[in-house]
A and B are shown apart, each in its own frame.
Chain A
C-alpha cells in the first residue's frame, strides 16, 4: 500500500513539474536611442495661401523641428528620410508596418496639414511599428504663424507617450545676452525658444542685468539690475514690457527667484556686509525675513511644494548648501564634501537639488538628493555655473565661460545642456554670447 502511495506521489510530482510555467527574468536591456521615423507632414490639397508662409514647405519644416527636438534628447534616433518607404499621405492613412520595420524603425510619426480660413490645422499620428497599431493621434488648430509652436507641442506629446514623462520642447529660455570686449560687456535680457529660434531682447543693454528667472506662468521675470548704481531686484512683465523695482530695501538686493505659486519673490538683501534671505509677497508687498545669521546667506530656491528652501551660506566657514523650512526654521547643512558649493536649485520633480561646486580651481555642475546624499558631478570645466532645470526635471541648462587672454581675447560665454544622467552634453545655439539661463515651464500647460 505504501509503495502504491509513493508511486502515485512521484507520478503527481513529475507531471506537475512538466506543467510548471517557465519564468525568465529580464533585468537588462539596451539604452540605445529609439529609432523613430518622422514622415514629412502631408499638405491637404484644399490648403489656401497665407501671407508669406510657404505652405508647401510647412510639412517638412514641422517634421524637421520634431526630428531636431528628438535628436537633442539623446533618447531617440530619427532615421534619414531618404530611407522612407511610403509617401506621407498614404502613410498617414495607414502605414505598411512591415515596410517601415525593414528600415529598423520602431515608431513612426505621420501627419496632415490644412490651412484654411486663415487657420492652420495640424493633425498627427504616432504608430508603434512592432505592435502594428496607433499609439496616439491628436489635432491642433491655431494661426499659421504659430507653426513652430505646433511642432514643439507635437514633439512633447510624442515624447510623453514614448517615455512616460512630460516633454520640454514647448518652452523658452531666458538668458543674459552678452556682447563687446570682456571689460566692457553689454548685457541684455534675451528670450528664445528652447531650440534657439525666435530670439527677442527685453532690455536695451544700458544697465547691467543678471540672474533672470521666470515665474510659474512664464509671464513675469525677476532679475537683478542696477538702480542708481545699486544692484536691485526687478520685476518685468514680458507681455507689457513694464518694469519695477521689487520692494523698498535700504540696500542691495540680489539672487531673486519666484515661489512655486508665483505669489512671492525670495531674494537676498545685504546690509553692512551681511546678507540674509527675505521674501516679498507680490500682492500685499509684505516683506518677511527668513534667515537671521551673521554669515552670508544667499541663492535661495524653493522646493516645488513650497515647504522648504535650499540656499548657500558660509556660516560653517566655507560656502555650503543648507536646507530649511520655508519659515526659516530647522536649518540643516546638506553638503559636506570638499570644495565650495553654491547656486542650489530644487528640481521640479522635487527629488534632487542641482548645484555648482568649485574644487581645486575647477567648476562642476552636479545633482544630489535633497538631504545631500547621492552627490553626482555631471560635468567639469574651467568655469561654469548657474544650473536651471527643464520643466520635467531631466535636463539642466547652465553657462560656461572660457579663459580669456591678458587682453580679454579668447573669452566666450555659452549655454550648455546636460542630462541628469551625465550624458548628452550639448551646446545651445544663441545669437550672441550668453550666460545665466533660466528654463520656463511648459507654455502649453
Chain B
C-alpha cells in the first residue's frame, strides 16, 4: 500500500493538469440528481456574480456617461439581444428544477409508443446539452478553483476586485482580436510577487500584434501596482502559484 502510494507521487507530479474536465462532469451529475445540497452554493455564486457586476458597473461608469445618454441614442441591436440571453443563463439553476421533475414523471408512466420514447430521448439529450453548457458558462472559473481547493469564492473575489482597481485598460485595442493575456505568478507569503511570467510572451513580438504587447504590459503593471496581493493568511502552498487571465474583450464591447 505504502509502496503503491509512494509510486503514485511522481506520476502525479508529472501530469497534474488533467483534472478540471473530470471535475466539471462530476458537478453536472450531482446537480442532475439532486439540487438540494448544491442549490445554496449555486445561488451564492449567482448572487456574488450579480453583486460583482453591479459593483463593477458603478466603478466603471464615469459620471459623464449618464449625462451623455440621450433619448435618441440608438443602442446596438446585438447588444440588447446579448444582454437578454445572459440574464437567462444566470437564472439557470432555478430553471433546472421543473425540468428535472418533468422528466422523472415521464419515467414513471408506462410508455408504449416508440416514437414517444425516441422523442423523449432526444429531449433528454437536448436538456443535458443545454445544462452542460449553462453550467460551464456560469461557474467556469469557480469550478476550476473550488475543486482545486486553492481559494474560497470570497477570497477569489477579493483578489479579483483588488486587481480590477489596479488595471488601467489601454484603449485603442482592436475588438475583433484575441485579447487574452495569461500571467503566471509565484507569490511570497505576504502576497508580494516573487516571479511573474507572461505565458504567451512570444506573441508580443509578432508582426501586427503591437496591441498585445501594450495589453500584456498593462496587465503586468496592474499586478505590480497591486502588490501585496490580498491572499489568505493560510494555505500558502495552495496559492503560491497562481494564474491570472486578463481579458478586456467584454469590457471594451460594453
Contact = CB atoms under 8 A, between A and B. Distances in A.
Contact of A26 (B8, B210, B241, B245): B245
A427 B147 CA distance: 55
Interface stretch (B27-35, B90-98, B111-119, B165-173): B165-173
A373 B76 CA distance: 8
Contacts of B56: 28
A242 to B, nearest CB: 39
B53 to A, nearest CB: 9
Contacts of A364: 72
A22 B149 CA distance: 9
Nearest to B75: A376
Contacts of B247: 25-27
A29 B160 CA distance: 10
Nearest to B176: A351
Given A22-B238, A24-B159, A394-B172, A423 B64 contact: yes
A318 B109 CA distance: 64
Contacts of A25: 140-141, 160, 245, 247
Assign chain A's interface to a size class: 35 or more
Given A13-B19, A16-B12, A17-B19, A106 B242 contact: no
Contacts of A286: none
**Prevailing SS type, chain B contact patch:** helix
A131 interface: yes
Given A22-B239, A30-B59, A15 B12 contact: yes
Interface string B125-158: 0000000000000001100110111110000100
Contact of A31 (B62, B211, B217): B62
Interface string B160-198: 100111011111110000000000100000000000000
B185 to A, nearest CB: 10
A19 B73 contact: no
Interface residues of B, number: 78
Contacts of A12: 8, 11-12
Given A13-B19, A28-B56, A21 B242 contact: yes
B39 interface: no
B8 A23 contact: no
**Prevailing SS type, chain A contact patch:** mixed
A164 B164 contact: no
Contacts of B76: 373-376
Contacts of B148: 17-18, 20-22
Contacts of B220: 130-131
Contacts of B241: 21-22
- Counting chain A CB atoms within 10 Å of each CB, the highest count among B73, B147, B239 belongs to B73
Interface string A154-196: 0000000111110000000000000000000000000000000
A19 B16 contact: yes
Interface string B11-31: 111001111100000000000
Contact of A29 (B18, B151, B164): B164
A17 B8 CA distance: 14
A32 interface: yes
Nearest to A364: B72
A128 B222 contact: no
Interface string A72-94: 00010000000000000000000
Contacts of B238: 18, 22
Nearest to B196: A131
Contacts of B73: 376-377
B5 A11 contact: yes
Contacts of B214: 161-164
Contact of A374 (B78, B165, B169, B221): B78
A18 B150 CA distance: 7
A34 interface: yes
B243 interface: yes
A4 interface: yes
A118 interface: no
Nearest to B251: A28
A138 to B, nearest CB: 16
A75 B12 contact: no
Given A164-B172, A364-B72, A394-B172, A131 B12 contact: no
B1 interface: yes
Contacts of B145: 22-24
A328 interface: no
Nearest to B235: A18
A380 B69 CA distance: 11
A29 B222 CA distance: 9
B16 A30 contact: no
B74 A24 contact: no
Contact of B221 (A13, A27, A130, A163): A130
A208 B134 CA distance: 65
A230 interface: no
Nearest to A9: B8
B160 A24 contact: yes
Contacts of A16: 12, 16, 18-19
Interface string A359-400: 100101000000001111100100000000000101000000
Given A18-B149, A22-B144, 6 more contacts: A8-B4, A20-B16, A21-B241, A22-B242, A31-B168, A130-B221
Interface of A: 4, 7-8, 11-13, 15-32, 34, 75, 106, 128, 130-131, 135, 161-165, 337, 359, 362, 364, 373-377, 380, 392, 394, 421-423
| Closest 9 A/B residue pairs (Cβ) | A29-B167, A164-B214, A164-B211, A22-B150, A165-B172, A20-B148, A29-B169, A163-B172, A19-B16
8 contacts: A16-B16, A23-B145, A23-B245, A24-B141, A31-B60, A163-B214, A376-B74, A392-B172
